[in-house]
Amino acid sequence: METQRRGLFWDVQAGRVPPPPAAKLLGWELVAVDPEQGTIEVAFQASGQFANPVGAIQGGFLAAMLDDTLGPALVATLPEDRFAPTLDLHVQYLRPARPGRLLGRGRIVQRGREICFLSGELIGQDDRPVAVATATARIQTVPQNRQPLS
């Protein structure tokens, strides 16, 4: 009998806790996750409100989407008492992204006891990458006084 997964990532997916406000703002949606392989696919709904003066999605929103792709690739693999804040995020913008659905693909490159290296990409509606990223995250214990976000 398979036990139900627990932890920050899985509790949100099961509806036991609400999704983080940033994920809601970005239109975060789980497409696929493989904790054994350390991979994830998520979709975002890039609102026209995220656009810069020439109609492309502002780079800060793309960086946030990449952070919200890479981080969950790792967090989905962790025990329920652990989480992994991002220590460093390096984004390279390849071409403009337009409002609409964007697909994020992330993976764990190397995992240590505390420090993990992640990479991923954000794919535009034409199936071409709009940005790529690498990140470093640190596995930590969830604080006991953590308050749910609404």
pLDDT digits (tens, 9 = 90+) for 107-133: 999 999 999 999 999 999 999 999 999
- Specify if 125 maps to a domain: yes
- Specify if 90 maps to a domain: yes
CB atoms within 10 A of CB 120: 27
Helix, strand, coil shares of the chain, percent, nearest 5, are 20, 40, 40
- Specify if 2 maps to a domain: no
Per-residue pLDDT reduced to its tens digit, 88-108: 999 999 999 999 999 999 999
- Specify if 150 maps to a domain: no
- Specify if 37 maps to a domain: yes
| Predicted TM-score of the model (pTM) | 0.91
What is the extent of the structural domain holding 83? 8-13+21-141
Q: In which residue are the tokens 């034409």 written?
A: 126
- Specify if 147 maps to a domain: no
pLDDT tier, 3 (very low <50, low <70, confident <90, very high otherwise): low
- Specify if 85 maps to a domain: yes
- Specify if 1 maps to a domain: no
- CATH code of residue 35: 3.10.129.10
Count of domains forming the chain: 1
For the chain, give the longest Cα–Cα distance: 54
